[in-house]
Structure 1
Amino acid sequence: MLERFYPDIYISSTYKIDFGKYYNAGYRGIIFDIDNTLVTHGAPADKRSRKLIKKLQDMGFKILFLSNNKEPRVKMFCDAVGGKYIFKAGKPGKKGYMRAMEMLGTSRETTLFIGDQLFTDVWGARNAGIFSILVRPINKKEEIQIVLKRYPEKIVLAFYRHKCQKQGKKYLEEGTDGD
Structure 2
Amino acid sequence: MYNFLLPKEFVTSVYEITPEKLEKLGIKGIITDLDNTLIEWNRHEATEEIANWIKGMEEAGIKVIIASNNNEARVKRFADPLGIPYIYKARKPLGAAYLAALKQLGLKKNEVIMVGDQLLTDVMGANRLKLYTILVRPVAESDGMVTKFNRFVERRVFNSLKRRGIKTWEEKE
TM-score (normalizing by structure 2): 0.92
| 1:51 to 2:48 alignment | no
- Helix, strand or coil for the counterpart of 2:64? strand
* Counterpart in the other structure of 2:159: 158
Using the TM superposition, give the Cα deviation of residue 16 of structure 1 relative to its aligned residue in structure 2, in angstroms: 2.1
* Counterpart in the other structure of 2:62: 61
Distance 1:24 1:84 in 2: 25
* Counterpart in the other structure of 1:143: 144
* Counterpart in the other structure of 1:70: 71
Distance 1:161 1:61 in 2: 33
Matches within 5 A, 1:109-120: 109-120=110-121
TM-score (normalizing by structure 1): 0.89
| 1:171 to 2:168 alignment | yes
- Helix, strand or coil for the counterpart of 1:96? helix
Give the root-mean-square deviation of aligned CA atoms: 1.7
| 1:5 to 2:2 alignment | no
In the alignment of these two chains, the number of paired residues is: 171
Using the TM superposition, give the Cα deviation of residue 14 of structure 1 relative to its aligned residue in structure 2, in angstroms: 1.1
Distance 2:159 2:26 in 1: 31
- With over 3 angstroms needed to count, the CA separation of the structure-2 counterparts of 1:161 and 1:22, relative to structure 1, is farther
User: Does structure 2 retain, via aligned residues, the 8 Å contact 1:50–1:80?
Assistant: no
- Superimposed CA distance per residue, residues 32-70 of structure 1 (whole angstroms, 9 cap, x where no aligned partner): 101100100131111111111000000110111000111
- Helix, strand or coil for the counterpart of 1:146? helix
User: Does structure 1 retain, via aligned residues, the 8 Å contact 2:64–2:84?
Assistant: yes
User: Does structure 2 retain, via aligned residues, the 8 Å contact 1:42–1:73?
Assistant: no
**Range that drifts further, 34-43 or 15-24:** 15-24
User: Does structure 2 retain, via aligned residues, the 8 Å contact 1:37–1:135?
Assistant: yes
**Range that drifts further, 77-86 or 51-60:** 77-86
User: Does structure 1 retain, via aligned residues, the 8 Å contact 2:18–2:57?
Assistant: no
- With over 3 angstroms needed to count, the CA separation of the structure-2 counterparts of 1:106 and 1:174, relative to structure 1, is farther
Distance 2:57 2:18 in 1: 11
Give me the identity figure in percent. 35
Distance 2:95 2:104 in 1: 14
> Which structure carries more relative contact order (alpha carbon 8 Å, separation 6+)?
1
